[in-house]
Structure 1
């Protein structure tokens, strides 16, 4: 667990496994799911939701890149049109804890990918706060985007499946 935490602390950042070729769900609870997928760069594990009726999604994924585990958070809205190199920041609040993340636009105009920096000591702490949380809010400081809120009840089971998957890759 400690080795995993150290390896994942390097990067964290919010869309379903877009580049994945084969996807298999490993847990589903309250609109949240955990999955394992085969991507171009190997096996990856993820968790999140795209169950929002307004086209928003939030995903956390882990994959092995050049021999090391890396974590990412992807957030998107099907109505967005984000430039590929757009940069900014988002804040993720889980109950009373907050983390600030810097993002960059991706090749998909509806998605941004954020790198982890902030209040959580490492990736594992972030994932554990997510699992134990009741409410998450995603805030977009300086942007004309209203904060998003999400119900995190039931994410413990999804998070445990995600972490078990991450330990195997």
Structure 2
């Protein structure tokens, strides 16, 4: 159990922006965790998982940038080697709902990031669907990447901790 806690802390530090410090867990359940961190840009709230044996991760985060809240989804796989300027689409299905997002490669070659900039209410709707969902599937249209599936049971408490953190921002 102690190893899992140490692995989660290390994972959270990697999932948060490179400049993030002071990562603190808020809630965890069924391999999902909510956290808060302090970055050079200010506080951020996040939730996600890396609870799998194949090195994949899925993170949702919210940050205050230039006075406005922005929502992001970070998806990655330790085996990826994505160019920083790479662009494409991801589709996140939660039960019968779908969110289609454009992603951009990040400074980490094993991760892409999709932003809900300019559509924060859509981001909140996505988070609510996540909290109530049973199953999530992530696909990458036009890419040679098989769809991912994840069990969302038990994520409501984690999502509530994430949303409480975001409300305080």
Q: TM-score w.r.t. structure 1 length?
A: 0.87
Once the two structures are TM-superposed, the CA of residue 37 in structure 1 deviates from its matched residue by: 0.4
In structure 1, the partner of 2:15 is 16
Contact conserved, 2:45 with 2:165, CA < 8 A, in 1?
yes
SS in structure 2 of the partner of residue 126 of structure 1: helix
Equivalent-residue separation in structure 2 for 1:135 and 1:127 (angstroms): 13
SS in structure 2 of the partner of residue 129 of structure 1: helix
Runs (4+) of structure 1 exceeding 3 A deviation are: none
Contiguous gaps of at least 5 residues in structure 2 = 1-13
Contact conserved, 1:100 with 1:116, CA < 8 A, in 2?
no
Equivalent-residue separation in structure 1 for 2:156 and 2:58 (angstroms): 16
In structure 2, the partner of 1:73 is 73
In structure 1, the partner of 2:158 is 158
Contact conserved, 1:16 with 1:50, CA < 8 A, in 2?
no
Equivalent-residue separation in structure 1 for 2:116 and 2:64 (angstroms): 17
Contact conserved, 1:102 with 1:116, CA < 8 A, in 2?
no
Higher percent of residues as helix: 2
Equivalent-residue separation in structure 2 for 1:108 and 1:96 (angstroms): 31
Equivalent-residue separation in structure 2 for 1:76 and 1:100 (angstroms): 17
Equivalent-residue separation in structure 2 for 1:111 and 1:104 (angstroms): 9
SS in structure 2 of the partner of residue 22 of structure 1: strand
Equivalent-residue separation in structure 2 for 1:48 and 1:85 (angstroms): 24
Structure scoring higher RCO (CA < 8 A, sep ≥ 6) equals: 1
Report the number of matched residues.
153
SS in structure 2 of the partner of residue 122 of structure 1: helix
In structure 2, the partner of 1:42 is 42
Equivalent-residue separation in structure 2 for 1:67 and 1:78 (angstroms): 33
Once the two structures are TM-superposed, the CA of residue 41 in structure 1 deviates from its matched residue by: 0.7
**Is residue 2:146 matched to residue 1:114?**
no
SS in structure 1 of the partner of residue 160 of structure 2: helix
What aligned pairs does 1:47-62 form with structure 2 within 5 A after superposition? 47-62=47-62
